[in-house]
Amino acid sequence: MAQAAHGLGGLKYDPAKRERPQELNVFIALVAIVVAFELLGRLFIGDSFLFNTRENVEGIFNWQRLNIIILQVSIVGIIAIGVTQVIINGGIDLSSGSIVGATAMITMSFAQTALVNGNPNPKAIFGDWAMDLPVLVPVLVGLGCGLIAGFINGGLIATTRIPPFIATLGMMVTARGLSKWWSNGNPISFPTESYAAIGKGLMPVVIFVLLALLFHAIMTYTKYGKHCYAIGSNEQAARMSGINVNRHKILVYSIAGMLAALAAIVLSSKNLTAQAGMGVMYELDAIAMAVIGGVSLQGGRGSILGTVLGALIFGVIISGFTFLRLDAYYQEMVKGVIIVGAVVLDQWRQRGRSRG
Amino acid sequence: MSNDIILETRNLTKRYGGVHALEDANFTLRRGEHVAIVGDNGAGKSTFVRQITAVEKHSSGEIHFDGSNVEFKDPLEAREAGIETVFQTLALADDLDVPSNLFLGREIFRFKLGPFSVLDRKAMRDRTLEALKTTAVKIPNVDNAIRNMSGGQRQCVAIARTAAFASKMVIMDEPTAALGVQETAQVENIIRGLKERGIPMILISHNLRQVFDLVDRIVVFRRGRIVASLNKDETDGNDIVSYITGVKGASDAAVA
């Protein structure tokens, strides 16, 4: 009997009384928010949020809206995956939005096509040698940029012991400066067809889902994931247990940087252009997704699944406000309230548990 | 140096500024021997242990472990050499379950792939249950985070970890200080298990009943010096107390 194996030393243990997993709470919140929008929609504007109400379209659900919701969050969601493992590891990454900007600018410079409608590319950054390169070149350049930025973040945090907040704040400002300097603030446009294919249609969603599955597996089943939780939970204990904490931190921030770079590639490909202001506030959106999804800012707790659900809540709320024809200004204000609310809820949960 | 001796310190000294926390400690531990270190608060017991496990750097003197002169860089190196320690402050990761804590830093893998090596969670769980059963530790559910457990259960996990991986020598710094009666009995059982397995141990404890129950030899610290080293059978509680309080052996430092 499984139960007997659990209760060691004669203690009884009832699996049914186990604590509800945090992800289930987040999922319930997601359903509640969707239901709320559905009810508000029917009540105030006489339309359904979730279901198809148009006769010329097939299907029970309003797939168009659902597609927009997930497409909307998938690019920031890629960043949020990287940010999640950083926060679980006990850190924070404020630089991801700026890494998106800088990486998009640099990557796009290597993804340009020579001729636009028979004329030379008006936005060309480099000479002919950088035109019509195979798609692998800009992708590798981009990932390399993210890797370098993340490596610098992690290296600073591990070697100088400055707080992650400060190290990544420095990278945030520096990388944003770099993205403006790169082309004197001018946008970079006209990528090759193969580069444009990376973020076409639902590709961002596919990439997001695949990465979420991959990192869910990594965080759950590998040494890397286990050590992220261990370091975030008790860094001293992790060090004493023989984990190379410094090396691990550098790896965690490097991976976060590369995921931000990947988001930049998908975003610039989707938009067919790169601008110096790309990704502004993305770092905070990504952190918000993680926090809403139950990732504790104190480290040690949370999951990729939680962050994915948090991202969906994020997307549903933005889409829901548009659906209710409310101003975009309200969206931002409510976003702020939700982030604070999620952290407060987490604190309450912690206090409740430590009392028990 | 005889091959019978696992640990020997020669004139081990630690000064904090002008304070002599530990002076000329000459101490030996034989293979398989369990020794208790007793003494008043501030007598230098924990300081002595911290020098051996390299939590602090000693000011002078030598440490010989397992036949060679050692100079551990940090506690990790001491552990890798085979000295397992239960510290007064627990070294557990609160958000991890029991198997993860037991195997932290020495995980079992399904297959190796650098940092992304895949964990063999079943093997670690099975071995955890085994280790906990032999030590009779009471844990309601090993899959729960340590955070949700009582102080005694957490201490038992820490001690079970030490006992499970003990290879050459174990140090316990007041392992039962914060525990209830039942939990104390459990920890004492773990210590008896170590004795049966022939693993030498240094136990720091204020509990003389426990000390007489468990160890072969009692070493008394007073004001940073070793003042007595007595076989359990040749002494009694009153004798030990007079050494601790300085009624006996106040003038001459003994050789342990």
Q: What is the mean pLDDT of the segment spanning B209-215?
A: 92
Residues of chain B contacting residue A233, judged by C-beta atoms under 8 Å apart = 93-96
* pLDDT score of A356: 37
User: Which chain B residues have any C-beta within 8 angstroms of a chain A C-beta?
Assistant: 75-76, 79-80, 90-96, 100, 104-107, 109, 113, 115-119, 121, 129, 132-133, 136-143, 147-148
Domain covering A22-345, topology: ABC transporter involved in vitamin B12 uptake, BtuC (1.10.3470)
DSSP characters over A107-118 = HHHTSB-SEETT
Q: Of A198, A190, A199, whose CA–CA distance to A71 is shortest?
A: A199
Task: Measure Cα distances from A28 to A20, A34, A86, A306, A310 in Å.
Answer: 11, 10, 25, 12, 11
Q: How confident is the model at residue B251 (pLDDT cuts 50, 70, 90)?
A: low
Q: Do A11 and B140 touch (CB under 8 A)?
A: yes
Q: What is the overall mean pLDDT for chain B?
A: 87
pLDDT at B204 over 90: yes
Interval A203-241: pLDDT, tens:
999 999 999 999 999 999 999 999 999 999 999 889 888
Q: How confident is the model at residue A127 (pLDDT cuts 50, 70, 90)?
A: confident
At residue B113, the 3 state secondary structure works out as: strand
Q: How confident is the model at residue B160 (pLDDT cuts 50, 70, 90)?
A: confident
Residues of chain B contacting residue A7, judged by C-beta atoms under 8 Å apart = 140-141
Cα-trace Rg, chain A: 22
Interface test with B, best of A1, A6, A8, A85 (most B CBs within 10 A): A8
CA distance B179 to B156: 9
B89 to chain A: closest CA residue: A237
Interval A258-272: pLDDT, tens:
999 999 999 999 999
pLDDT at A301 over 70: yes
Helix A63-88 to helix A96-109 angle, to the nearest 10 degrees? 110
Stated pTM of the model: 0.87
Q: Which residue has the higher pLDDT, B38 or A240?
A: B38
Domains annotated for chain B, with CATH where assigned, are: 1-82+169-174+198-256 (3.40.50.300), 92-165 (no CATH)
* pLDDT score of A18: 62
Contact indicator for B156, B138 with CB cutoff of 8 Å = yes
A241 has a chain B CB within 8 A of its CB: yes
Interval A98-108: pLDDT, tens:
999 999 999 99
pLDDT at A3 over 50: no
A9 to chain B: closest CA residue: B138
* pLDDT score of A355: 43
Q: Do A226 and B118 touch (CB under 8 A)?
A: no
Residues of chain B contacting residue A230, judged by C-beta atoms under 8 Å apart = 93, 96, 100, 104
Q: What is the mean pLDDT of the segment spanning A78-82?
A: 98
Q: What is the mean pLDDT of the segment spanning B4-25?
A: 90
* pLDDT score of A174: 97
At residue A121, the 3 state secondary structure works out as: coil
Coarse DSSP helix, strand, coil percentages of chain A, rounded to the nearest 5 percent: 70, 5, 25
Beta strand B109-111 pairing with B201-204: unpaired
pLDDT at B37 over 90: yes
Q: How confident is the model at residue A2 (pLDDT cuts 50, 70, 90)?
A: very low
Q: How confident is the model at residue A117 (pLDDT cuts 50, 70, 90)?
A: confident
Q: Tell me what percent of the residues of chain A surpass a pLDDT of 90.
A: 66
Task: Tell me which DSSP letter residue B242 carries.
Answer: H
* pLDDT score of B89: 65
Q: How confident is the model at residue A251 (pLDDT cuts 50, 70, 90)?
A: very high
> Who's near B141: CB < 8 A, 6+ residues apart?
A6, A7, A13, A18
> Who's near A123: CB < 8 A, 6+ residues apart?
A112, A186, A187, A188, A189, A190
CA atoms within 13 A on the CB side of A63: 5
Q: What is the mean pLDDT of the segment spanning A241-261?
A: 95
Q: Do B91 and A353 touch (CB under 8 A)?
A: no
Token digits of residue B21: 């926390």
Q: How confident is the model at residue A6 (pLDDT cuts 50, 70, 90)?
A: very low
B107 to chain A: closest CA residue: A223
Choose the weakest-confidence range: A334-343, A345-354, B167-176.
A345-354
* pLDDT score of A269: 96
pLDDT at B68 over 50: yes
pLDDT at A143 over 60: yes
Q: Tell me what percent of the residues of chain B surpass a pLDDT of 90.
A: 39
Cross-strand partners of B9: B27, B63
Contact indicator for B48, B12 with CB cutoff of 8 Å = yes
Residues of chain B contacting residue A353, judged by C-beta atoms under 8 Å apart = 147-148
Structural domain spans, chain A = 22-345
A241 to chain B: closest CA residue: B105
pLDDT at B228 over 60: yes
Q: What is the side-by-side strand order in the sheet with B68-70? A: B19-30, B5-16, B60-65, B68-70
Q: Which residue has the higher pLDDT, B74 or B126?
A: B126
* pLDDT score of A16: 56
Q: What is the mean pLDDT of the segment spanning B84-88?
A: 79
End-to-end CA distance of chain A: 27
Q: Which residue has the higher pLDDT, A330 or B199?
A: B199
Token digits of residue B175: 């392992």
Q: Do B115 and A248 touch (CB under 8 A)?
A: yes
* pLDDT score of A14: 59
Q: How confident is the model at residue B65 (pLDDT cuts 50, 70, 90)?
A: very high
Q: Do A6 and B133 touch (CB under 8 A)?
A: no
* pLDDT score of A4: 39
Provide the phi-psi class of A283: left if phi over 0, else alpha when psi is between -120 and 50, else beta.
alpha
Contact indicator for B85, B75 with CB cutoff of 8 Å = yes
Residues of chain B contacting residue A232, judged by C-beta atoms under 8 Å apart = 95
